[in-house]
Amino acid sequence: MFLEMIKSISISDKDLLERFKIIDIETLKQLEAKNKSIVVLMTHYASYEWSTVTQLLIDFPTVGIYKQIKNKYFDQLVHRIRQRYNARLIPSYKAMKEITRDKVNGKLCSYAFLSDQSPSLDKATYWTDFMGIKVPTHVGGAVLAKRLDMSVAYLHVEKVKRGYYQAKFIPITENAKNCEDFYIVKTYLRMVEEQIRKAPEYYLWTHKRWKHRHAEIPKDATID
């Protein structure tokens, strides 16, 4: 998977479209037709970096929300990969401000959030079960979708064979503002769990998703 990530720099568009096949791009196009921006929730699973090829198939500009990596060389590599199709990248701490500005300016975009990592404890406002363990989880994408009335979809990726994947967009909601609190997050996590249980070998376990499992839960946090 790491080698395929690096291959993202040199692989041709034709090969990438063949190796990372979006099997239902019409689903995302139908969400585009709603005339409002889209939050795409993703997970660190099965050469997820190749999903940048989606930009060749849709009308909305793709915007990646990312957390800066401490190793500056690896961070530069990730930037190079994710900006292949001139995708705009927004650091997570600026996401609220910039996405709200897009909304005010009437700019429609598809915002990609990799939301399966652990937030820092000072931002651990929502705790729920993930793979049977109570942990904090990122809620930024869901909160923004609800606040700014965006559609939400999950990008489900499967490995077909060595070097080949297929992906599909699964709608979570077209009316985020009317969803119950944390409905989007819980639905997303159940989809991620289903993928992991089906083929755990393709999940990026190195992110230490459960590193806060024994931490003291903040008093003002929501526990589900």
* Tens-digit pLDDT profile for residues 194-211: 999 999 999 998 878 899
Helix axes 140-148, 183-198, angle to 10 degrees: 140
Q: What is the per-residue pLDDT for 152? A: 98
| Residue 27 tokens, joined | 């689903």
- Residue 66, pLDDT above cutoff 90: no
At 140 the pLDDT is 93
Q: For the segment 89-147, what is each residue's pLDDT rounded down to a tens digit?
A: 898 999 999 999 999 999 999 999 999 988 988 889 999 999 999 999 999 999 999 99
Give the mean pLDDT of the chain: 91
What is the chain's Cα-based Rg?
17
Q: Taking 90 as the threshold, does the pLDDT of residue 163 lie above it?
A: yes
Q: Map tokens 């363990």 to a residue.
A: 133
* Residue 88, phi then psi, degrees to nearest 5: -85, 135
Paired residues of 42 in beta bridges: 114
Helix 140-148, helix 95-104: angle, nearest 10? 20
Q: Each residue of 176-190: pLDDT tens digit?
A: 999 999 999 999 999
pLDDT number for residue 113: 96
